[in-house]
Amino acid sequence: MSFEIEDIGIGFLTDEQLEDLASSLENKVYSFIQQHKYWQLLADFSIIIDLNQDTNKILTLVLDSEISGGLTTQQLEEFQSEIFKYSQSALKEELEWMKSS
């Protein structure tokens, strides 16, 4: 899954800033998953977040997840959608914080 955010006025981010931001998002997403109602149904999960910024200052969030456990197909789709929406929201919050500091 991927999501794009156009330039929000903070300019280009360095590779180190992108890595730090991705790491922070991964931590937040892991915390979200561990507090989710489906947490006890999971046998295993992994989340990889990648952030890229193109020459037009468009930031792209790519979230790759592998989730296994006792979830139905519908529950898994719902859970993945909630994780992705949460990661988008967390990214926006981080960017707003970066812009204001």
pLDDT single digits (tens) 28-87: 999 999 999 999 999 999 999 999 988 888 889 999 989 999 999 999 999 999 999 999
pLDDT above 70 for 89: yes
Please name the fold of domain 2-100.
GMP Synthetase; Chain A, domain 3 (3.30.300)
| pLDDT in the model for residue 67 | 92
Q: What are the angstrom distances between the C-alpha of 78 and each of 21, 22, 51, 85?
A: 25, 23, 23, 11
b/e 14-33 (16+ beta carbons within 10 angstroms → b): eeeebeebbeebbebbeebb
| pLDDT in the model for residue 85 | 94
Q: What is the mean pLDDT of the segment spanning 76-100?
A: 92
| pLDDT in the model for residue 11 | 80
Q: What is the mean pLDDT of the segment spanning 3-32?
A: 87
